[in-house]
Chain A
């Protein structure tokens, strides 16, 4: 227990998380600190490229085993199942419409790749190894939740809100969105070129990685803080409670699955992070196309203003600490 608390404390004080807190505090204090959109996008592309490539190179170094396939499948099932839990929990805690509940649920079944990247960097800083294929699991968990949410809408929402799933081009946009293509593509190239490929670009993707991540998280803190400031009216107590409880329930599901699969402590922590996090890049865009009747201020504020900061500041240290205490090699 003492080790778990110490590890959580160290993680909380890592530069990545402190820069996020700085951004959050600056935005809440109405500082004019800001990043141009193009720079934020450039940094996110770099991070996806680097994490994907390193994950692929990791798989090349350690080989493919049944664990990869089982974890990928488990990730898809978790992503598809968690929206049902989120939908039911929102029904208990809030009076939101079925369409809003389904839209929020899609975000919580899908994943936040930035939370995943941050947790990976924290694990590396602490010298805790994890399975390289967790990057592929992250990519596989992006889309199934959207399918579940649209199914929920088709079952329970008013007829006027049900047209979204048939929107032409929607599934191509979801499955081929830029983040997924870059992450999976870099993973495949890293896997194909292995240690030799990694050695060729190591100086670019390893040494600057954490510095870029610090800057990116500073920006994400600013975005989250601005979102929180602008959307106070959206956060009824029940909605806020959902934004804090759902990550813990998701993390619990991820932990149970990670333990059942026999993942390492680092791998189990990452699966907890994936299940606990909420998408704020891919799913919001899909929801705007498929469910325009759902309130974007609600799901963006919850995902980016409540759950993302919670996971970055308290969640990641907690998940790493618990996984370290319970999982194999912990």
Chain B
């Protein structure tokens, strides 16, 4: 089976910024992404957990995108306009995908 090189971008960001981030990605031409719930964690701002929370202020989400390597810079620029002032993590890893035309 032939595999194609791709970049996997994982952005862990505050839940309140989720829509702003996905809209920025769409404007940058990123048509596919997955939003995953994050149940808890810890970092420079201390530990946090979604257990028992009713507001979105302390929650985080993970937005995962797979793109062709040539589109990576445009994606990161779009993401950076949103995450610049906010807590979160942006991580890029090499990946391989089966159907290149989808990315």
Contact = CB atoms under 8 A, between A and B. Distances in A.
Interface string A42-71: 001000000000000000000000000000
Nearest to A114: B54
B20 A169 contact: yes
Contacts of B46: 230-231, 297
B14 A34 contact: no
Nearest to B53: A37
Contacts of A36: 51-52
A300 B17 CA distance: 18
B87 interface: yes
Contact of A280 (B14, B52, B55): B55
A95 B16 CA distance: 28
Contact of B51 (A34, A285, A287, A300): A34
Interface in A284-325: 284-285, 287-289, 292-293, 295-297, 300
Interface in B15-36: 16-17, 19-20
A101 interface: no
A268 interface: no
Contacts of B52: 34-37, 40, 219-220, 222-223
Contact of B56 (A40, A220, A231, A285): A285
Nearest to B85: A292
A137 B55 CA distance: 21
B2 to A, nearest CB: 42
B102 interface: no
A292 B57 contact: no
A282 interface: yes
B57 A284 contact: yes
A222 B19 CA distance: 29
A282 B54 CA distance: 10
B47 interface: yes
A285 B16 contact: yes
Contact of A281 (B14, B47, B57): B57
A326 B47 CA distance: 44
Contact of A285 (B55, B85, B87): B55
B86 interface: yes
B50 interface: yes
B17 A296 contact: no
B96 interface: no
Contacts of B57: 280-281, 284-285, 287-288, 296, 300
Nearest to A216: B54
A34 B86 CA distance: 28
A41 B54 contact: yes
Interface string A135-159: 0000000000000000000000000
Interface in A186-229: 219-220, 222-223, 226
6 contacts: A36-B52, A41-B54, A219-B52, A220-B52, A223-B51, A281-B57
**Shortest Cβ-Cβ A-B pairs, 4 listed:** A284-B57, A281-B55, A44-B54, A285-B57
